Amino acid sequence: MKKIIVFALLFSFALNSIALAGLGSKKAAYQGGTTKDKDFPGAKEGVEGTLNTTGESALVFEYELNKAKKTYSIPYNQIIDIEYGQKAGRRVGAAVATAILISPVGLFLLFSKKRKHFVTIGYKGDDGKDQVAVFELGKDIIRTTLPILETRSGKKIEYQDEEAKKSSKGN
């Protein structure tokens, strides 16, 4: 009987870890935009990678697709506008899975929220046409990435709401 309980607990923790897994706190993911088919061929969901803001001339998204390392660059001087927003949701999937296996413990997950942080960048492409890219940002890079984008592009960030503005400033 002890083996069954130990197995159930290990299984529930593994399941809970999978359910809670998402974008890494220091990662970014390209979620979509006008050049998705060209720059991210075959990608059905977000493409995870890292945003490199150390260069002074361009924001560079470094990622791996189909086992090949690639980059996607947006020159700062081509940026037209920047918008930041959040999407908050409950951890329902993780709560249900844990509640089934461990009963009331999983219900506490219903009270926790997960937040997804999105930055939308409008820019002029190499062909002179307006383009857009939507990135999801990990929670640990929001407060550093947004001011860098604002400073290097010379464009003020538009916030979707007051909650997004507070979150980006650390309040």
Domain assignment of residue 67, yes or no = yes
**In 108-137, which positions are buried (b, 16+ CB within 10 angstroms) versus exposed (e)?**
ebeeeeeebbbbbbbbeeeeeeebbbbbbb
Q: pLDDT value at position 113?
A: 64
pLDDT band at 112, cuts 50/70/90? low
pLDDT band at 17, cuts 50/70/90? very low
pLDDT band at 89, cuts 50/70/90? low
Domain that holds residue 38: 24-89+112-169
CATH number (domain holding residue 155):
2.30.29.30
Q: pLDDT value at position 161?
A: 75
pTM of the model: 0.73
> Total domain count for the chain?
1
Output the 3-class SS for 2-20.
HHHHHHHHHHHHHHHHHHH
Q: Using the 8-state DSSP alphabet, how is residue 84 labeled?
A: E
Nearest CA-CA partner of 46 in 118, 123, 121, 103: 118
Model pLDDT for residues 45-82, shown as the tens digit of each residue: 899 999 999 999 999 999 999 899 999 999 999 999 99
Q: pLDDT value at position 114?
A: 76
Phi, psi for 115 (deg, rounded to 5): -120, 135
Phi, psi for 21 (deg, rounded to 5): -65, 140
Q: pLDDT value at position 164?
A: 64
